[in-house]
Structure 1
Amino acid sequence: MSIEELYDDAARERLVEEPPKRVDAPVRLAFERDRARVVHAAASRRLAAKTQVVGPQTDDFVRNRLTHSLEVAQIARDLARALGTHPDIAETAALAHDMGHPPFGHNGERVLAELSADCGGFEGNAQTLRLLTRLESKTFDADGASVGLNLTRATLDACTKYPWPRSEATGPHGVHADGTPRVVVKFGVYDDDRPVFDWLRAGVAGRRRCVEAQVMDLADDVAYSVHDVEDGIVAGRLDLTSLDRAALWETVRSWYLPGADDATLDSALDGLRAVGSWPRSSYDGSRRSLAAIKNLTSDLIGRFCGGVQQATFAATESVPLVRHRADLVVPEDTEVEIAVLKGIAAHYVMQAGDRVALMERQRQLVAELVEWTWARGADGLDPVFVADWDEAADDAARRRVVIDQVASLTDASALARHTALAPTGWARASAASRQVGS
């Protein structure tokens, strides 16, 4: 049976039925069309100017949300193909997984969550679902309501990292990949988006994620664990040949694995150091040295994905890894090695004192943007959001429109809008000089 035959009509169903394409158009299968729609979405382009760990304009080499998403997509596609699940679905979910992030990454998310507490909250993954099914412009239903990109059920399910509403979310714990503490509860759907969520989860009981979503999530974890270390090396912030294990293990336990003992973490690091491409000399900026780091990146990604592939095959035997028929299996030693890599980046790159002051300025800017946009009403919105404001039934619904507007901004456009919306008498020059994106 081919991979396409493992996905039934329900998996390919769209909220709005679409007629066949012209006979002279290139033939594309349903999940290929989904991928193309996400690639061409405006929200995807905006990721190029949104913070990943540090501001995207700070350095030519630093990763932004778009380059990170492309790297996650490549890992997800290769892993999906190796596992026998649909590569187009996994890749599309990876391309879309950060679309809902606001300006300044998780730092901006924290502010929007606080300021939207009375209208349903804010969460980047729930915002991604809202973008895919409502805010992006592509398809409208018979009643004239936007259904966003009108993706298939299987693709939308794969994009749902946290398949539950805010009311069922557990308390936040740990830290994000950018080093900020988790203060936002994780959930995947706002209350007013429940109809489409219930549709895409039809026939699925409880919180179980489809295997394509699990592939996307693992690819995300692998990508930032490896690439943050790579960025730190090239930036001269860390040296893999000279690691302070005692201080490093304190960071790993504080951020990721609170119960891990020294022996477990030592064993994980020793396993990583045994990889043939692990550097034996310090990075010196030469082309050969950079190539060595790239080889290490490739080897580590292969190590982690290979370990998951073997463990998953051993556990599932002949069960097809399609939608909700099976689950990904991540070996414990792989989880620990990934945590050690993330800990290296956290300890040597993300704990710099200058980031703390910068992030406070970013939060203030986002909060003022929400306040000033709310005060302006429809006059403070982009044209695409004006109809939403006019059709809102109450202040809670109007507040949601303001949150949607601010969340759509990039780091640079947030700064520009902040200056443009500043009340009369505000020291605009002072606001512009905050350098919140650097």
Structure 2
Amino acid sequence: MGMNDSITFAPYASQPEDSRGRYYKEPESTTRSCHQRDRDRIIHSAAFRRLQYKTQVFVNHEGDFFRTRLTHSLEVAQIARTVCRYLNLNQELAESLALAHDLGHPPFGHAGEEALDEALAPYGGFDHNAQSLRVVTELEQRYADFDGLNLTWECIEGVVKHNGPLRGPNSTHAKPLPQSIIDYNDNVMDLDLENYSSLEAQIAALSDDIAYNNHDIDDALRARLIRIDDLKDIPVVGETFHAVAKQYPDIDDSRLIYEAVRRLIGDMVNDLLQETQLRIKDAAPKSVLDIRNSGRATASFSERIQECDRELKAFMFENVYRHYKINRMTSKARRVVKDLFTLFMAEPNCLATEWYKLTDGKSSELTARVVADYIAGITDRYALDEHSRLFDVQARNS
């Protein structure tokens, strides 16, 4: 462990020295813990860099002040580290999971994922968590000794099941389990799919909720899809905006939005800390195994924030994600993804040479997975350019 020997975690934290290790054996670093190395490998990956030009709700070229998946991932990591620092948990593992959680997302956010899932329906569908697993175990090809990033078991497990168990009575997965997760679990590493993930992974997942709920409010207000007054009946949110406006009656809307969002993030972080501490006290876990084997999540929001979360999601779905301006962008995005998939399936020789070689002579199912890997890996702007090159007869194929 070297310079990390002085760090003491809570007994139920993920202890780096007790890691279940990597699939491909490597000598340990003398200067970094195993989970610091996970974090560093994720940051240096090509998939992480591409998040700069991938979006969640707003298509990247529509405006440069909206969040991208890269800025979102950094915000999630910052929240997760703050929570883990206070609870004396493994910050580097939580940070790794926060930075990796969106690596499998295709271009154009939810619209792109829905379009790929629909296109891949005859071949098992598309799932972004399963795609994140493929990215970190196969598709990143940088290292001399192995494909993927060769992350620790704890990191891969957290990527796959940060939202909870994927099998058994406590399963949080509504759809059939993606075949790539089943194959990896059965043939490479047993990811203990019936049990919960580490407390660090649970916190990274809830930090994601905190970040995207509040930042979608911020982006939607700045895009003028909704007005501040529209939020008044949402629990916690409406009260917070009202309190800021009352305290600063002459404040301009831009500062009001930022101050309210800042307070909302702080409120949700404090709530997560308090509820998680109550659950830790109640369960009295002695090790990370107790966290994994618990019959319920150990990290959680209180009922007050859970109600806020439900009402906010319903409001955003109705008023933002279904706004006609967003509908036009998502319609375009779905069309681009479906067109690319259909063309590459019919004519895989239109893929870049290194990708075409992966399909040559393969079954339609394997070809579909290669095409999906290709499309999922490209950015919003590259997908638009690729579509133009392939479908606009006057576009240059440079």
Contact 1:11 1:154 in 2 (8 A): yes
Aligned residues: 377
Is the aligned partner of 1:417 residue 2:386? yes
Q: Per-residue CA shift, 1:209-239, capped at 9, x if unaligned?
A: 3333211211111111122222233344444
- C-alpha distance in 1 between matches for 2:241 and 2:187: 45
What value does the CA root-mean-square deviation take over the aligned residues?
Answer: 3.3
- C-alpha distance in 2 between matches for 1:153 and 1:131: 15
Contact 1:277 1:299 in 2 (8 A): no
Equivalent of residue 280 in structure 2, options 296, 309, 313? 313
- C-alpha distance in 2 between matches for 1:61 and 1:186: 37
Code of the residue aligned with 1:273 in structure 2: it is E
Report the equivalent of 1:273.
239
Code of the residue aligned with 2:339 in structure 1: it is E
Contact 1:83 1:309 in 2 (8 A): no
User: Unaligned stretches of 5+ in structure 1?
Assistant: 173-184, 249-267, 430-438
Cα shift at 1:302? 3.1
**1:1-16 alignment, distance < 5 Å:** 2-3=8-9, 7=15, 11-16=19-24
Contact 1:373 1:421 in 2 (8 A): no
Contact 2:78 2:95 in 1 (8 A): yes
Is the aligned partner of 1:229 residue 2:237? no
**1:190-339 alignment, distance < 5 Å:** 190-191=179-180, 194-195=183-184, 199-202=188-191, 204=192, 206-241=194-229, 243=231, 245=233, 268-269=235-236, 273=239, 278-280=244-246, 281=249, 284-285=252-253, 288-289=255-256, 292-293=259-260, 295-317=262-284, 319-320=286-287, 324=292, 327-339=298-310
- C-alpha distance in 1 between matches for 2:131 and 2:141: 15
Query: Identity across aligned pairs (percent)?
Result: 30
- C-alpha distance in 2 between matches for 1:171 and 1:16: 29
Equivalent of residue 33 in structure 2, options 29, 36, 51? 29
Partner SS state of residue 160, structure 1 = helix
**Alpha carbons of 1:61 and 1:366: their partners in 2 closer, same or farther (altered >3 Å)?**
same
Cα shift at 1:300? 2.8
**Alpha carbons of 1:381 and 1:4: their partners in 2 closer, same or farther (altered >3 Å)?**
farther
Q: Per-residue CA shift, 1:331-385, capped at 9, x if unaligned?
A: 22221122333345445433322322332222121111012122332441362x3
Is the aligned partner of 1:69 residue 2:38? no
Code of the residue aligned with 2:154 in structure 1: it is A
Q: Per-residue CA shift, 1:215-273, capped at 9, x if unaligned?
A: 1211111111122222233344444456464xx6xxxxxxxxxxxxxxxxxxx44x862
Report the equivalent of 2:359.
389
Contact 2:10 2:87 in 1 (8 A): no
Report the equivalent of 2:370.
401
- C-alpha distance in 1 between matches for 2:124 and 2:230: 47
Code of the residue aligned with 1:421 in structure 2: it is L
Report the equivalent of 2:136.
132
Contact 2:272 2:300 in 1 (8 A): no
User: Unaligned stretches of 5+ in structure 2?
Assistant: 1-6
Per residue, is there more helix in 1 or in 2? 2
- C-alpha distance in 2 between matches for 1:61 and 1:243: 22
Code of the residue aligned with 2:214 in structure 1: it is V
Report the equivalent of 1:158.
158
**Alpha carbons of 1:51 and 1:242: their partners in 2 closer, same or farther (altered >3 Å)?**
closer
**1:44-55 alignment, distance < 5 Å:** 44-55=48-59
Contact 1:157 1:200 in 2 (8 A): no
Partner SS state of residue 57, structure 2 = coil
State the TM-score, normalizing by the size of structure 2.
0.82
**Alpha carbons of 1:403 and 1:283: their partners in 2 closer, same or farther (altered >3 Å)?**
farther
Contact 1:140 1:148 in 2 (8 A): no
State the TM-score, normalizing by the size of structure 1.
0.75
